[in-house]
Amino acid sequence: MTPEERGARLARYYDLDFLDVSYDAELYLRLAQAAGGPVLELGVGSGRLAVPLALAGHRVLGVDQDAAMLARAAAAWDEARGELDRDRVQTAQADFHTFRVERTFGLALVAVNTFLLAEDDEARLSVLATMRDHLRPGGIAAVEIGTPDAAELRRFDRRLLLEWVRDDPETGDQVTKTISADYEPGAETLQLTQVYEWTPSDGGPLGRVTQVDLLHLLSARHLAELATEAGFAEVHVWGDHLSTPYDAGSHRAILEARLV
């Protein structure tokens, strides 16, 4: 399998992974409406959030380093847009730690756990700086991270866990996803291995592709402190996509901060 074929398959399975996920889109639609301006999404992936934001009337610039993901984002928008302006969703292949463009936005967001790929505070602040430097005064920055509790972390002991078995609508293949996670307490890192195996619909050998990510965990409190250090004000951390205040029982932290 060539690197291009591997990237295309992982991008397709990313969409299969999030096939039934839409609850977070409602949050970002609310924030985009409140911000009242175009949207910058860092880590846009295959356009899972960019497309509904654009369909709701917002112009979106999506940044990602993965060419296969960006190709799917463009294709998804072409399929969904009907008579709408194709340029309502634009993409840029770039490192969003250093990305800069001469435009300002009402909302800048980093969804799911993408922010946890930043390995230390310097890298985290560089992502927040990219968001800050592209927001107009009063603009909103939103960052979502997972905050697993001690019981969850104990499960991350390299055991192999079945996540789902689904049919790939594009190929008819049956796809199985399993994961293995290894938590390192001293470093507060979580190595996440995602394994996708498929059985071809027309027969043939079982195929497999693997994605390994090293996530650098941080607390909701530290996330808020970093946002303040980066120059944001009115910093709130919610515990879910309904904007419930974060507390000890929350499993996600969603930062909402404004640029003044």
Calculate mean pLDDT across residues 245-255. Answer: 94
Q: Is residue 255 pLDDT above 90, yes or no?
A: yes
Residue 22 has a pLDDT of 80
Cβ 88 vs Cβ 81: under 8 Å: yes
Residue 21 has a pLDDT of 82
Phi, psi of 54 (to 5 degrees): -70, -40
Residue 142 has a pLDDT of 98
Residues in CB range of 44: below 8 A, 6 or more apart:
50, 60, 62, 63, 64, 69, 70, 73, 91
Q: What is the pLDDT of residues 65-100, one digit of tens each?
A: 999 999 999 999 999 999 999 999 999 999 999 999
Give the CATH fold of the 3-147+218-258 domain.
Rossmann fold (3.40.50)
Give the CATH fold of the 150-216 domain.
N-terminal domain of TfIIb (2.20.25)
Q: Which of 26, 119, 162, 201 is nearest to 127 (CA)?
A: 119
Per-domain residue ranges of the chain: 3-147+218-258, 150-216
CA separation (Å) from 83 to 67, 79, 89, 171? 26, 10, 13, 28
Residue 203 has a pLDDT of 80
Instruction: Decide whether 3-147+218-258 matches 150-216 in CATH topology.
Output: no
Residue 167 has a pLDDT of 93
DSSP state of 245: B
Structure tokens at 104: 């300002």
Calculate mean pLDDT across residues 27-55. Answer: 95
Q: Is residue 154 pLDDT above 90, yes or no?
A: no
Average pLDDT, the chain: 94
Q: pLDDT-derived band of residue 150, with 50, 70 and 90 as boundaries?
A: confident
Q: Is residue 19 pLDDT above 90, yes or no?
A: no
